[in-house]
Amino acid sequence: MRVSEALKARKSTRAYLNKPVEQEKIERVLNAARHAPSGVNTQPWQVAVVTGSKKEALCAAMENTFRAGNKGTMDYQYYPLEWQGIYKDRRKACGLQLYSTLQISREDKERQLDQWAANYRGFDAPVILFFFMDRIMETGSIFDYGMFYQSVMLAAMEEGLATCPQAALAEYPELVKESLGYSDDTLLLCGMALGYEDTGALVNSYRTPREEIHQFTRFFD
């Protein structure tokens, strides 16, 4: 698959087959992604690959915490404190597209809650990746991390695997770090579901739109 094709084909997958992912495949994905660029070659990424009973226990702890009404506090501010303009519009449209696909009405708060809770199970993918970075690093390293993160998703496609990048998996950093043995000297940046796509699942049937290049690009000559 050409790079341009992979970029267009990649999507956030929210339903997976109950099929284990071979460790060799995960290692090949990370081995490819490690070649991502970073400022002065700092390579700030630290990855936890979580499967099996450890994943089940950690996901249950996160979901139970969420359902108890604790929204958690991320190690950094991911989203704006106040949504405005086109960003507010796109956020709203994204949620509406998900709920309309699943036929979840605005009034059905219980199903909305259940759908959001699925985030903390990594949508029941067999593998969850957690991405950490040392606190001593600064904003530029988060920029570097994005290139690594995208590289993981594209490399996964080559292995026939699907992914879903998830900020929600970083909403309970203390819980995750305690479970996995990471120090508070690290930042939990995000997580990622990884597995084989359930192509028959309705939730995987839609795609969010992207702006045309003339909407975000200016050419100077």
pLDDT of residue 193: 98
Q: If you ran DSSP here, which 8-state letter would residue 16 be given?
A: B
Taking only Cα atoms into account, the Rg of the chain, rounded to an integer number of angstroms, comes to: 18
In three-state secondary structure terms, 21 is coil
* CA–CA gap between residue 61 and residue 74 (Å, rounded): 16
* Phi, psi (degrees; rounded to nearest 5) at 164: -145, 110
Residues above pLDDT 90, as percent of the chain: 98
Domains and CATH numbers, the chain: 3-78+119-207 (3.40.109.10)
Kindly report, residue by residue over 156-165, the tens digit of the pLDDT.
Answer: 999 999 999 9
**Residue ranges of the chain with per-residue pLDDT less than 70:** none
Across-strand partners of 190? 131
Residues above pLDDT 70, as percent of the chain: 100
- In sequence order, the 6+-apart residues with CB closer than 8 A to the CB of 46 are 131, 132, 133, 134, 182, 186
